[in-house]
Amino acid sequence: MTVDPAFLDIAADLARREPTPFYVYDTARLRSTCRSLRGLPTRARVYFATMANAHPRFLEVIREEGLGVFVNTMGHLGRALEVGFEPGRIVYTASGMSEALMREVRATGAEVNLDSIGQVALWRTLFPGQPFGIRCNIGDRIEARETRAGFFVGPQSRLGLSGPELESVFGSPDIHGLHLYAGTDILDLRYFEAAYRALLELVPHFPALDYLDLGGGFGVPGPGQDPFDFHGYGALVAQIMDDAAALAGRPLDLVLEPGRIVGAEAGLFVCRVTDVKPRGERQLVGVDASSAQFPRPLLYPDSALHPHALLPTHGRDPGPPVPSQVYGCSTYSRDFLVWDGALPPAQPGDLVVLGQAGAYCASLRTEFLGFPPAPEHYR
């Protein structure tokens, strides 16, 4: 896994003018992924999952590219309205909503997907006859897989209506949408297909459907993996929506909620080497940043494998990579930005650049340890 050299040049150039650490986003890359999603062969309503990145400039680009947003808090819903998204371009899907929150969300005019039988009962009491969607836990209809961050369907997932609960609302005239989120960071289209086909089995039982919300979960490639197959995915959802139309007796809208794939490759995190500790074959590279500012390695130490590169100062020939760990400038023992990597021998003043940093990175930052948020620059 490498960082695109053209993108590295952007990072190096900015680091000459701006203090490190920082995030930098390439808006042309961001726009290009938005267009791939909008260009799917079947007409899709695409709502970016703001939990992946809720920076106002990021959301502006999303809006300019014609996507809507999927939010799961009033904080992000408010941000989306501020950035200029029409309420009709906002989907709200959460769980355990209080009565007050349900009223607040409803008042904005956003589309809502509900997570449980209890939430459906509450909605019906508050807004009789008003349409909503339901989150379907189709895990008893497929072999549920654990994806990053656990199970999103099946008995091990806390989310959605279970099989018997779904059966108890069959025939409801106020249920206008079926929502599914199969998991995250998925590159294997067969898993999407299995999950989508399980959702299709429910379609004949809901007479008033307008849409199928197939969620997000589109993966970005790890070491040795191919990029997400947009072409194959497009063919898959075209077929799924044809089958849905046959089952419903009319065309249904396709709704997607991509998060990670939209911005991951459009962002870099850039920090500067402050210290180097030789440890046998390995080097420990200290930087002027922390996993509190770049938290995925903190949350997923075994699987958050970000492409990384060293940019030596003064045009020094970097030499061949050696086993390397990159650590943050705190005293916290787990403060690593790279747990198990390879970089050329580093010197203080060099830059360390981490790729795939545009999703679930800046938005995950934590106040733990007291580091300020790293500034975010847009190119």
Ligand X SMILES: Cc1ncc(COP(=O)(O)O)c(C=O)c1O
- For residue 285, the SS3 value is strand
Is 89 a binding residue for ligand X by CB under 6 A? The answer is no
Read off the tokens for 206.
């809901």
In this complex, which beta carbon is closest to ligand X, that of residue 46 or of residue 285? 46
Is 220 a binding residue for ligand X by CB under 6 A? The answer is no
On whether the CB atoms of residues 177 and 133 are closer than 8 A, the answer is yes
Strands 22-25 and 376-378, by their bridges, are parallel
In this complex, which beta carbon is closest to ligand X, that of residue 360 or of residue 371? 360
Is 345 a binding residue for ligand X by CB under 6 A? The answer is no
Q: Is the peptide bond before 21 cis (omega within 30 degrees of 0)?
A: yes
Is 83 a binding residue for ligand X by CB under 6 A? The answer is no
Of 211-219, 224-232, 285-293, 324-332, the window that binds ligand X (rule: CB under 6 A) is 211-219
How big is the site for ligand X, counted in residues (CB under 6 A)?
15
- Reported as type and span, the H/E element at residue 133 is strand 132-135
Q: How far apart are CA 256 and CA 251, in angstroms?
A: 16
Q: Could you tell me which residues come within 8 angstroms of residue 73 by beta carbon, excluding any fewer than 6 positions away?
A: 94
Is 23 a binding residue for ligand X by CB under 6 A? The answer is no
Which one-letter DSSP state was computed for residue 173?
Answer: T
Residues 43-82 as x/- pattern, contact with ligand X by CB under 6 A: ------x-xx-----------------x------------
Q: How many CB atoms sit inside 10 A of residue 183's CB?
A: 24
In this complex, which beta carbon is closest to ligand X, that of residue 258 or of residue 328? 258
Is 36 a binding residue for ligand X by CB under 6 A? The answer is no
Nearest to 377 by CA among 271, 295, 262, 268: 268
In this complex, which beta carbon is closest to ligand X, that of residue 218 or of residue 327? 218
Is 260 a binding residue for ligand X by CB under 6 A? The answer is yes
Of 30-38, 120-128, 255-263, 316-324, the window that binds ligand X (rule: CB under 6 A) is 255-263
- Which residues lie near ligand X (CB under 6 A)? 49, 51-52, 70, 93, 181, 184, 215-218, 257-260
